Structure 1
Amino acid sequence: MLITFKSKSSAGLTMYQEHAQRILDLLHKNASRGVITAAEAAKAVELLEQEVALSKLHPEVEADHAAHTHAHTLPEEGETPEIAERNHVGFAQRAYPLLEMLRAARDGGDDIIWGV
Structure 2
Amino acid sequence: MLVKFTSSTSGQIMMFAAVARQLLESIGKDCSARGVITTEQLPEAITRLRQAAAEHKATPPASSVDDAGRASTVGDDDDARPVGLGQRAFPLIELLQWTQQEEGFVLWEAERDF
Shift of 1:55: 0.9
What TM-score do you get using the length of structure 1 for normalisation? 0.74
Shift of 1:8: 2.4
Larger radius of gyration: 2
What TM-score do you get using the length of structure 2 for normalisation? 0.75
Query: Residue 9 and residue 59 in structure 1: after superposition, are their counterparts in 2 closer, same or farther (change >3 A)?
Result: farther
Task: Name stretches of at least 5 consecutive residues in structure 2 with no aligned partner.
Answer: 63-75
| Structure with greater strand share of residues | 2
**Percentage of matched positions with identical amino acids:** 33
| Structure with greater helix share of residues | 1
Q: Would the aligned equivalents of 1:9 and 1:101 in 2 still touch at CA under 8 Å?
A: no
Query: How far apart, CA to CA, are the structure 2 residues paired with 1:90 and 1:84?
Result: 14
Q: Would the aligned equivalents of 1:9 and 1:105 in 2 still touch at CA under 8 Å?
A: yes
Query: How far apart, CA to CA, are the structure 2 residues paired with 1:15 and 1:59?
Result: 25
1:38 aligned counterpart, secondary structure = coil
Tell me, yes or no, if structure 1 residue 97 matches structure 2 residue 91: yes
Aligned pairs for 1:38-57 within 5 A: 38-57=39-58
| Runs of 4 or more consecutive aligned structure 1 residues displaced over 4 Å after TM superposition | none
